[in-house]
Amino acid sequence: MKTFYYYLRSIACFIMLAMVVSSCGNKAEKERLQQENDSLRVTQQQMEEQVNSYFASMNEISDNLQKVVALGGYISNQAQSPEGIKGNEDAINENLELVAQIIEKSQNEIAQLKSRLKSSGMKVAELERTIERLTSELTKQSEQIERMRVELAAKDSLIGQQKVSIRSLESNVAHLTSEAEEQKSALARQEESMNSAWYVFGTSKELKAEQIVTRDGISKKVLEGDFNKDYFVKIDLRKVTQIPLYAKRAKLLTTHPSDSYLLEKQNGQYTLRILDPTRFWSVTRYLVIQTN
């Protein structure tokens, strides 16, 4: 940069020398020197404007580089935050796009700056070195951002695979849970069936009316034919060991081991007390008692 300003200073000295010479020459010479002086002033002004324009562009490019570096660090922090990519995916993608736009814009500005400098014919070593440095830094940042984009894409892909695996596991768990519930319900139904029994008591007339007791000639038949099952009371044989009969007389019409139960009379009314439920219900799960 100093070389350029030495150049400008030389021009100024030449202008001053021309003015001294002009005072000693004739009028025509003075006019010629004045024209040259005016031309040099215009040239100097144009060169200053060009140089100022070059430095304005470089300052803008330098500012953009600082933004790129700052955004790169911010993106890296976002990706490594406790929420990870999953929680910051949109923000990270937006910042990556912004960085890419800034880098592309700066690269275009450098290309234009090089073209303008080449067209001007100026040879300012410091300016050219600054342009090359900015170009190198932009290239470095562009490569770093691209690596970061690739790494984030790989992490995002891994997260996507993990999501698929999690959904698959959740589906398997839901399926297994459903199967377990079905098995549980089936076992409950099976257990209920295994421990269910039915009883009914009533007068001879009532039992005949429901086809629970029928006659074939002089013989009495119990639970044969199309009897009314809805007339029976369903019980859990593990829990029910006493059945109040509310009758002064009671007789079991179905077959049950005689030592597995008692017909007890209390306050003039019978109650069936089951002493051994397993033996009592071993022959049949239906209990029919005729009362009077």
For 288, residues 6+ apart whose C-beta sits below 8 A from its C-beta are: 199, 200, 201, 207, 212, 213, 222, 223, 252, 253, 254
16-25, 133-142, 259-268 — which one is most confidently predicted on average? 259-268
pLDDT reported for residue 122: 61
Long-range (24+ apart) CB contacts under 8 A made by 143-149 are: 144/72, 145/68, 145/72, 145/96, 145/99, 145/100, 145/103, 148/72, 148/75, 148/76, 148/79, 148/96, 149/96
* Token representation of residue 36: 């040259």
- Give the residues across from 262 on adjacent strands: 273
> 3-state SS string over the chain?
CHHHHHHHHHHHHHHHHHHHHHHHCCHHHHHHHHHHHHHHHHHHHHHHHHHHHHHHHHHHHHHHHHHHHHHHHHHHHHHCCCCHHHHHHHHHHHHHHHHHHHHHHHHHHHHHHHHHHHHHCCCCHHHHHHHHHHHHHHHHHHHHHHHHHHHHHHHHHHHHHHHHHHHHHHHHHHHHHHHHHHHHHHHHHHHHHHCEEEEEEECHHHHHHCCCEEEECCEEEECCCCCCHHHCEEEECCCCCEEECCCCCEEECCCCCHHHEEEEEECCEEEEEECCHHHHCCCCCEEEEEEC
As annotated, the residues of the chain forming the CATH 1.20.58 domain(s) are 2-163
Q: Structure pTM?
A: 0.45
What is residue 16's predicted lDDT score, i.e. its pLDDT?
56
* Axis-axis angle for helices 2-24, 27-79 (nearest 10): 170
pLDDT, tens only, 27-58: 777 777 777 766 666 665 666 566 666 667 66
At residue 20, does pLDDT exceed 60? no
Instruction: Give residue 124's pLDDT.
Output: 63
Lowest-confidence pick of 1-15, 89-103, 106-120, 181-195: 1-15
Q: What is the pLDDT of residues 166-185, one digit of tens each?
A: 788 888 888 888 888 888 88
Structure confidence at residue 253 (pLDDT): 95
The domain defined by 2-163 carries CATH number 1.20.58:
yes
